[in-house]
Structure formats: structure tokens, C-alpha cells
Amino acid sequence: MKKKYCIAVTGLNAIDSPGPGISVIRGIRDSKDFDCRIIGFAYESLEPGIYMHDIIDKTYQIPYPSSGTDALMERLNYIHATEGLDVIIPNFDAELYSFIKLEPKLKEMGIKVFLPTLEQFEERHKVNLPKFGQKYNIRVPFSREIFSSNEIYGLSKDFTYPLVVKGKYYDAYIAYSAEQAINYFGKISSKWGLPIVIQEFIKGTEYNVIGLGDGKGNTIAAVPMRKQYITDKGKAWGGITIEDKDLLKITDSFLSQTKWRGGFELEMMKSPKNEYFLLEINPRIPAWVYLAVGAGQNIPEAVVKLALGEEVEPFKTYQTGKMFVRYSWDMIVDLDDFQKISTFGEL
């Protein structure tokens, strides 16, 4: 008989900038090696995944990362006492710090995670990317952090327009003037706080690599993708797997040097000179992970196995020419369900 695990997953929003949770769950459910009970962790009552009862068995609201680790730990104690969690897979940048800090306590409770170390998490921050690129010999655009919109008018000393205005966790906009940059500064900082990252604009074609490192320098999984359709927020709404030895070489080098532990995404730009620039490193599984599953590398399943201490053989191949096309549809749900999750924090 196959083992059955209770696995909690965050990132249940499925808006125009979707969370990875639903795709991660689909990959886990595809596993032929184990059965699972899926517990959703939600922050808001209108996250669509809450109401997808065909793939999520039960959902609990958890406190926002800004509430601190004590509030999160208290909530996890209650959920674990009820459900008996085996693995938690966090899927948002902003919540990773809390789960990384709590990993020793979770381990004592019998709950496993497979996440980067705090040092790895901090080192790849957007504000630290220039030092990161220099340390690991990876080409990155010039960037600097700012803390006030007043600093924008002085950017002409180091930058030419257009330039990219980025939040410390999410959001990035191309500004073609100081006025636009100021507008984006206010828009992003009000949502994600300071600092704001100003990055050199690299013209070219966008590529992404989804991967998984075992924490020992080995590449467990790596699938490169070229964006086919991009939203106004810069998110891939369609993409295709490609064969690119240079991208895989960059990924292997990144993993062997940093000994990255867990899932990640490399956002790359290929210049007209065929040079790859690393725009940022997302320290968790991206929302398009199910494309990797469809191409033959079930990364969510591998994350569960690694978290449980199982040996996972590295994926050696993947199918090129596999595409994903994202879509949306209207779910019809009962008001009673909405009231339950809003009132009691679980459904």
C-alpha cells in the first residue's frame, strides 16, 4: 500500500498574478508513489483555491507574515493538532522568512519543510544581486536600492531611461521618465515597503528556469522556458519549454556554488548579443511549475520526498516544445462557504 501524507500548501490565490499553490498541488496529486491529504493555507477569504474542493481537502486561514512568527506558530500548533501535518510547502517570498526561522520547531513537531537556509535566502535578495553576481560570476544588470522618491532625480548619474523599478518582494515596472519612476515608487512602496530597487533595463527576450537543488550542490531538476505571453505585470501567461545548454549550465553553476536547498526560479534576459543576464532569483517554486510536471519533471513531488528525507534521483531529461497557456474561469460557490472561512478561519 502507498503511504499517505498530510501536506499543507500556501499560495492559493489565482488572480492575474497567481500564486503557485494550485499548480504545486496538481503536481503532488499526480504522484504515483504516495497518496495525500491536501491542506490549504490561505490569507484572505477570497483566494480561489479555498473553494476548489476537488483538489484541496480542507483550508485554514493563517496570519499574515507581518504578524510575526509567534502568531504563525500558535496557528500551526492548532492546525497540526487537528490534521497531523507531515509537510508544509510555502510558496510566497514574503512568508519564507517565517517558515525558515520556524524550521527547527516544526521539525520537533514532526513537520518537515525543504527550504533554503536563511543565508541563502538573504544573499539572493534583489538589493544584494550585484554582490551575488560578482561572488558567483553571474552576469547581472547594474542596480541600486533607494529609500526615498527624492533620490530618483539623482539616478541620471548612474542610469539612463528606461529603467526598471522593483519592489523588494514583488512587482516590477519599466519607467521611461523620472515622473513615471516616482509614480511606480509610490505604488510599490505602499504595497511592499522599502527599499525600492532601481535596475538597469536590459532589452532582449525573457527566459525563466525552474529548478530544484538538494542542498548539497546537486541539480535535482531544471527546466528552461521562454515566455510566450506576458501580462502587464510581467507575469508569464503562456510559455514553452526549450532546449538551451547555456541556461542549464548557468543553473548548474548556481546550484553547485550556492548549494541551494529547495525550489527556485531564475529570471533571465537574453540580450541581442546573446548574453544572459540574471534579473532576479525567486526563492520558491514559481506559479508555472505544472509546465515542468507536464514536461517530465515533477518538482512538487520531489520536494515532498526531499522534505521527508528520501533519496531523489536527479531528473536527466525533459520534453521540449511543451507549452502552458493560463486561463481563468468563474467558480460558483455557496455564500455559506465564504461565511465559514471568514468567520471561523477554516473550511
Distant-in-sequence, close-in-space partners of 37: CB < 8 Å, separation ≥ 6: 4, 5, 6, 7, 57, 83
Buried b or exposed e, range 27-53, using 16+ CB within 10 angstroms: bbbebeebebbbbbbbbebebbbbbbe
In the chain, % of residues over pLDDT 70: 99
In terms of CATH architecture, what is 203-325? 2-Layer Sandwich (3.30)
Whose CA is closest to 58, among 84, 77, 20? Answer: 84
In the chain, % of residues over pLDDT 90: 87
Q: What is the pLDDT of residues 237-259, one digit of tens each?
A: 899 999 999 999 999 999 999 99
Q: Which pLDDT score, from 0 to 100, does residue 231 have?
A: 73
Question: Which carries the bigger pLDDT value, residue 81 or residue 126?
Answer: 81
pLDDT-based confidence at residue 233 (cuts at 50, 70, 90): low
241 exposure class (CB count in 10 Å sphere: 0-12, 13-18, 19+): buried
Q: What is the pLDDT of residues 119-174, one digit of tens each?
A: 999 999 888 899 999 999 999 999 999 999 999 999 988 999 999 999 887 788 99
Q: Which pLDDT score, from 0 to 100, does residue 237 have?
A: 81
3-114+330-344: CATH topology:
Rossmann fold (3.40.50)
Cα distances from 248 to residues 64, 208, 260, 262, 268, in angstroms, run: 36, 11, 15, 17, 12
Q: What is the pLDDT of residues 188-225, one digit of tens each?
A: 999 888 999 999 999 999 999 999 999 999 999 999 99
Buried b or exposed e, range 270-294, using 16+ CB within 10 angstroms: beeeeebbbbbbbbbbbbbbbbbbb
How is the chain split into domains, by residue range?
3-114+330-344, 155-200, 203-325
The two counts, helices (H) then strands (E), for the chain are 10, 14
Average pLDDT estimate for 42-66? 95
Side-chain-facing half-sphere of 332: CA atoms under 13 Å: 0
Cell numbers placing 240: 514553452
Cell numbers placing 333: 460557490
